[in-house]
């Protein structure tokens, strides 16, 4: 799931040049700013580290990448240093990035505007289960129920996907 309009173009170009079936999940009205530099290399199955930190790694996809970058800034003000990784490809998942985060952190977090079942968090947990002594994982996403409508921002807030709610959830789980 592309994090911004520039990444959408790069994902489309990569899919056109691929000989495999590709599904690109788009968010219609996030209107987030560009989070990736113009000259970065988009590669299917390879994540992009957008922020370096030493305490927590936050994996995210799509429009949630921006919210996670904002959450990381707020956590930094509380002396919690966060890496933020744009995991734009769920399948194939970037196992190397997950392993590195598991080796370096006591907690890893996934944030997605998707059901918590069968998405990014599940894919990370599935790979993480093959590792010895993996860290705790916090999966932030939409709980498994049908949500009533509302504006994009309202629904983000309701489902705990705004940057403030992401911060609150992480702080709760660090206790």
**Residue 21 located in a structural domain:** no
Q: What is the pLDDT of residues 99-155, one digit of tens each?
A: 999 999 989 999 999 889 999 999 999 999 999 999 999 999 998 888 788 888 898
CATH code for the domain in which residue 51 is found: 3.40.50.920
Q: Residue 27: inside a domain, yes or no?
A: no
Phi, psi of 133 (to 5 degrees): 55, 55
Residue 71 lies in a domain: yes
92, part of any domain: yes
In a domain, 11, yes or no: no
30 domain residue, yes or no: no
Q: Is residue 10 part of a domain?
A: no
Model pTM score:
0.93
Look up residue 144 and give its DSSP letter.
S
Predicted local confidence at residue 29, as pLDDT: 65
Which domain, by its residues, includes 139?
45-174
pLDDT tens-digit readout, 6-60: 899 999 999 999 999 999 988 766 678 888 877 888 999 999 999 999 999 999 9
Number of compact structural domains in the chain: 1
- Tokens found for residue 144: 């498994």
Query: Would you say residue 103 lies in a domain?
Result: yes
Nearest to 45 by CA among 95, 94, 98: 94
């Amino acid at each position: 799931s592309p994090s911004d309009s520039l990444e959408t173009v790069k994902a489309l170009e990569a899919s056109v040049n691929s000989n495999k079936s590709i599904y690109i999940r788009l968010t219609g009205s996030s209107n987030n700013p560009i989070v990736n530099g113009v000259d970065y290399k988009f590669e299917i199955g390879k994540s992009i580290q957008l922020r370096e930190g030493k305490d927590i790694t936050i994996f995210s996809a799509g429009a949630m990448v921006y919210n996670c970058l904002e959450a990381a800034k707020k956590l930094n003000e509380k002396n919690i240093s966060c890496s933020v990784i744009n995991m734009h490809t769920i399948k194939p998942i970037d196992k190397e990035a997950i392993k590195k985060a598991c080796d370096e952190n006591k907690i890893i977090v996934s944030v997605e505007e998707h059901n918590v079942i069968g998405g990014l968090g599940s894919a990370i947990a599935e790979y993480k289960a093959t590792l010895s002594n993996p860290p705790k994982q916090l999966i932030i996403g939409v709980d498994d129920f049908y949500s009533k409508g509302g504006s994009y921002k309202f629904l983000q807030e309701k489902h705990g996907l705004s940057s403030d709610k992401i911060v609150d959830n992480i702080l709760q789980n660090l206790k």
